[in-house]
């Protein structure tokens, strides 16, 4: 990828591409969002980035960025939330290719917890009715007789309740689960604390991502501080190491987090933080608002186009 070297030089002009993933599904799942990739796609990505880029552990990459010593085509791999498939599906692929990664973990869901989007997805997956009466949510009656209809409703419901208050969101999830899945036990999708520990032991970097994944801009500053600190302490307990890197839940600057949350993360003792604004990090980028990019294209050619576009649009500081 010759153009990649031009768009991603090293040294004082060095820029760092930070990939971000959530789940790596064992196989395709139509109910998941389109950027939720499966094992085959992830394997293709890792193969491609190993050939095209210098893949670095994130702490090392940030040190090099600071010291103007970043190699050309520098890239690093991150995961958010703490899904079990990161351990069972992604880790073997990373190991096979000898690639390091950083995992930003939400400690409040480890074990049997489920994030709200997964409760919605798994509830709708389980309903056997041809339609659902969602008038209690102001959505009328919706058809759910086939997977396409279920897919549409999952996406709509997630958007519908994403920004509602945490207690209301939990109530909605409980009611929806009861309506769709009755007495069925919720599946376990998140890692166990021991698996996080194993990843850390295996040389992966573990970072903070809050305890309960709140949209920081929607809760009080005290609640945000508490959630950030609880997560940091829990991760220190699990891995025996205090995490130094943080990723904002949802991560959109000025929408999901504000300037004061950036300052909170710094005060908590973190040395760098990541948002979800696209682009690449340079020496000028705010170390507490480093951009990341979520690739989803399966073909290597399309992936390279995506990465080149990301490098071209984003060589600027994120300001909030
Ligand atoms: Zn997240």
Ligand 1 centre to CA of 213 (Å) is 6
Q: How far is the CA of 82 from the centre of ligand 1 (A)?
A: 8
Q: Quick one: pLDDT at residue 1?
A: 46
Predicted local distance difference test score (pLDDT) of residue 209 = 98
> Are 46 and 95 within 8 A, CB to CB?
no
- Residue 300 CA to ligand 1 center (angstroms) comes to 26
Output the CA 184–ligand 1 centroid distance in Å.
26
Task: Show me where the domains of the chain are located.
Answer: 2-111+192-313, 116-181
Q: Do 147 and 30 contact (CB within 8 A), yes or no?
A: yes
Contact 124, 178 (CB under 8 A): no
Cα Rg of the chain, angstroms: 20
Residue 81 CA, ligand 1 centroid: distance in Å? 5
Domain 2-111+192-313 grouped into CATH 3.20.20.370:
yes
Cα–ligand 1 centroid distance for 69 (angstroms): 30
Q: What is the pLDDT of residue 297?
A: 83
Ligand 1 centroid – CA 100 distance (Å): 20
| Cα distance between the two ends of the chain | 33
CA 94 to chain centre: 17
Residues of the chain with pLDDT under 70: 1-7, 314-320
What pLDDT does 176 receive?
Answer: 98
Q: Structure pTM?
A: 0.93
For residue 238, the CA-to-ligand 1 centroid distance in Å is 19
Write out pLDDT tens, residues 205-224.
999 999 999 999 999 999 99
Q: Yes or no: say if 118 and 29 are a contact pair by the CB < 8 Å rule.
A: no
What pLDDT, on the 0 to 100 scale, is given for residue 319?
A: 53
The predicted structure's pLDDT at residue 11 = 77
List pLDDT tens digits, range 34-70.
878 999 999 999 999 999 999 999 999 999 999 999 9
């Amino acid at each position: 990828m010759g153009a990649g070297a031009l768009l991603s030089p090293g040294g004082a002009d060095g820029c760092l591409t930070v990939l971000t993933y959530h789940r790596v599904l064992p196989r395709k799942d139509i109910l998941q969002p389109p950027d939720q990739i499966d094992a085959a796609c992830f394997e293709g990505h890792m193969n491609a980035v190993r050939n095209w880029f210098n893949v670095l552990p994130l702490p090392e990459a940030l040190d090099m960025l600071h010291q103007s010593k970043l190699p050309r085509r520098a890239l690093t791999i991150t995961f958010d939330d703490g899904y079990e498939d990161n351990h069972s599906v992604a880790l073997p692929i990373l190991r096979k290719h000898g690639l390091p990664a950083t995992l930003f973990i939400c400690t409040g869901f480890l074990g049997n917890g489920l994030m709200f989007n997964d409760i919605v997805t798994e509830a709708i997956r389980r309903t056997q009715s041809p339609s659902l009466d969602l008038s209690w949510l102001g959505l009328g009656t919706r058809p759910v007789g086939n997977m396409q209809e279920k897919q549409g409703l999952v996406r709509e419901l997630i958007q519908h309740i994403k920004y509602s208050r945490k207690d209301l969101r939990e109530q909605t999830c409980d009611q929806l689960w009861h309506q769709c899945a009755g007495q069925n036990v919720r599946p376990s999708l998140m890692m166990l604390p021991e698996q996080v520990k194993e990843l850390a032991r295996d040389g992966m970097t573990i970072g903070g991502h809050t305890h309960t994944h709140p949209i920081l801009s929607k809760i009080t500053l005290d609640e945000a501080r508490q959630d950030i600190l609880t997560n940091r302490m829990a991760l220190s307990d699990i891995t025996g190491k205090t995490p130094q890197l943080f990723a904002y839940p949802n991560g959109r600057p000025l929408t999901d987090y504000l300037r004061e949350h950036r300052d909170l993360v710094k005060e908590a003792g973190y040395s760098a933080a990541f948002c979800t604004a696209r682009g690449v990090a340079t020496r000028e980028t705010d170390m507490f608002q480093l951009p990341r990019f979520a690739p989803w294209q399966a073909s290597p050619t399309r992936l390279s186009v995506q990465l080149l576009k990301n490098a071209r649009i984003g060589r600027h500081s994120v300001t909030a």
